[in-house]
């Protein structure tokens, strides 16, 4: 496995704040561009935990395991899929740059760097706005808004297929800006947006007029009527002020979707709105109306404006009840343990997938999705959890015995085999006992 901390904390904090100079982030080829997002993962974890401790002590509101795991699982799945299939955006951008560029700006110029910073952010604004105003694009972006919490873990809740539509909005940059410069700013733009997903920071004073801040972004994540379709900015809030979509924070924001998903299943969270669109298209009469369901706003219905009727938005005010099925302390510890185990397996896969053949990679991807689905189902208190979790633990036990043998170079092999096998076997016993007690309760009832 790669070293956990690849950059010093000060440099990483500067990356989060976009306080990076052109000299230290300019590259001649795309292959030289670092994977800043992967390098930031340890700092994601540390800052999420620090924020949770601060809010827990200050407000007596502790981080919900189910919501945090749901958000970080979505981020891991997005990273996995994007890392394996990122060729489309690179190919398209490179083709436009090589065949259609109007001017060739130098890759090592500070002017090129700052121009890309601004133009990428403008492209992000229009992509982000389209993702809210075009239903088929919203089907991907709604994943990010599906959490009813607002903290740093929420920033990691990302769609696995939004990436395959967003790249189109950055193609105009290819008329002048080299690919490596665009790839750098694409990552810095996302890193900047990580830290603004917090309630700890209230206001940044005069910077609120120029930058996207936690206050502005809280509004964007709100489902209060005054928050809907506002503050699309990535780094600079000036785009919202220029194009009429700015809204200052007023009453307490209620987070999440206007119609909550009420599920921790990572697959369902990714595809639920796409399922809703298909169902609505099927039941809507008229070819024009069917197209409107797909390409108008998420709230559109026949006879309403393109973005839907604002009066149809449910009125909410804080506090509200959130989706939070009860879990016993042992179950929460179980979920946390197996999330960490599968996080390590995910990291092993990401570090080694380039040396794997296609079939092996596919099997690993299916297992990781399966594992996070099991964890989500446990958080949802689904009745069928033992039926899917016991086979998964048996599979892990078998894989451990086959691959993590003495002499294996995997880091997991450094853990005592009795501990590893005890975790897997103990997990199987846990669910067998759970099934037994459930049957007894049903008989007594």
For the chain, the structural domain boundaries read 9-243, 329-444
Give the per-residue pLDDT at 85. Answer: 64
How many degrees, rounded to 5, is the angle at CA 255 between CA 250 and CA 256? Answer: 140
Does residue 212 sit in helix, strand or coil? Answer: coil
Whole-number CA gyration radius for the chain: 23
% of the chain with per-residue pLDDT over 90: 69
Q: What is the number of alpha carbons within 13 Å of residue 123 lying toward its C-beta?
A: 20
Give the per-residue pLDDT at 412. Answer: 58
Give the per-residue pLDDT at 1. Answer: 42
Question: Using CA atoms, how far apart are residues 74 and 326, in angstroms rounded to an integer?
Answer: 22
Q: Say if residues 88 and 167 touch (Cβ distance below 8 Å).
A: yes
Give the per-residue pLDDT at 401. Answer: 73
Question: Is this structure's pTM higher than 0.85?
Answer: yes
Which phi and psi angles does 211 have, rounded to 5°?
A: -95, 155
Give the per-residue pLDDT at 2. Answer: 47
Q: Say if residues 147 and 71 touch (Cβ distance below 8 Å).
A: yes
Does residue 256 sit in helix, strand or coil? Answer: coil
| Residues in the chain where the model's pLDDT stays below 70 | 1-6, 83-86, 402-417, 437-445
Q: Which residues contact 46 (CB under 8 A, 6 or more apart)?
A: none
Which phi and psi angles does 132 have, rounded to 5°?
A: -95, -25
- Using CA atoms, how far residue 372 sits from 74, 115, 120, 340, 426, in Å, is 9, 40, 33, 11, 19
Strand spans (E) along 192-292: none
């Amino acid at each position: 496995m790669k070293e956990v901390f690849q950059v010093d904390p000060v440099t990483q904090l500067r990356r989060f704040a976009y306080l990076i100079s052109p000299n230290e982030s300019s590259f001649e080829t795309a292959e030289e561009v670092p994977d800043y997002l992967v390098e930031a993962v340890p700092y994601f974890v540390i800052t999420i935990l620090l924020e949770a401790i601060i809010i827990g002590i200050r407000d007596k509101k502790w981080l919900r395991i189910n919501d945090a795991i749901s958000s970080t699982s979505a981020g891991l799945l997005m990273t996995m899929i994007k890392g394996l299939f990122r060729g489309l955006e690179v190919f398209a951008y490179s083709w436009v740059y090589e065949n259609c560029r109007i001017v060739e700006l130098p890759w090592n110029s500070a002017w090129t760097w700052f121009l890309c910073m601004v133009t990428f952010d403008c492209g992000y604004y229009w992509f982000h706005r389209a993702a809210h105003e075009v239903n088929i694009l919203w089907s991907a972006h709604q994943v990010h808004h599906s959490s009813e919490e607002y903290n740093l873990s929420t920033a990691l809740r990302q769609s696995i297929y939004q990436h395959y539509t967003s790249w189109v909005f950055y193609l105009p940059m290819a008329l002048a800006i080299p690919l490596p410069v665009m790839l750098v700013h694409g990552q810095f733009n996302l890193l900047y947006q990580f830290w603004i997903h917090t309630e700890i920071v209230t206001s940044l004073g005069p910077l609120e007029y120029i930058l996207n801040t936690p206050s502005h972004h809280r509004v964007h994540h709100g489902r209060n009527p005054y928050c809907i379709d506002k503050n699309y900015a990535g780094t600079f809030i000036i785009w919202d002020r220029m194009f009429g979509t700015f809204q200052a924070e007023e009453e307490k924001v209620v987070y999440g979707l206007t119609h909550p998903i009420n599920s921790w299943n990572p697959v369902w969270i990714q595809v639920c709105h796409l399922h809703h669109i298909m169902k609505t298209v099927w039941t809507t009469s008229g070819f024009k109306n069917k197209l409107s369901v797909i390409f108008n706003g998420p709230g559109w219905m026949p006879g309403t404006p393109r973005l839907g009727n604002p009066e149809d938005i449910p009125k909410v005010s804080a506090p509200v009840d959130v989706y939070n099925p009860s879990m016993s302390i042992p179950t929460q510890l179980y979920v946390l343990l197996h999330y960490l185990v599968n996080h390590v397996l995910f990291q092993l896969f990401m570090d080694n997938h380039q040396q794997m053949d296609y079939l092996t990679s596919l099997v690993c991807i299916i297992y990781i999705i399966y594992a996070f689905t099991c964890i989500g189902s446990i958080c949802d208190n689904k009745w069928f959890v033992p039926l899917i979790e016991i086979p998964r633990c048996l599979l892990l036990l078998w894989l451990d015995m086959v691959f993590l043998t003495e002499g294996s170079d995997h880091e997991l092999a450094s853990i005592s085999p009795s501990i590893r096998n005890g975790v897997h076997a103990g997990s199987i016993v846990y669910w067998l006992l759970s099934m037994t007690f459930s049957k007894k309760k049903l008989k007594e009832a």
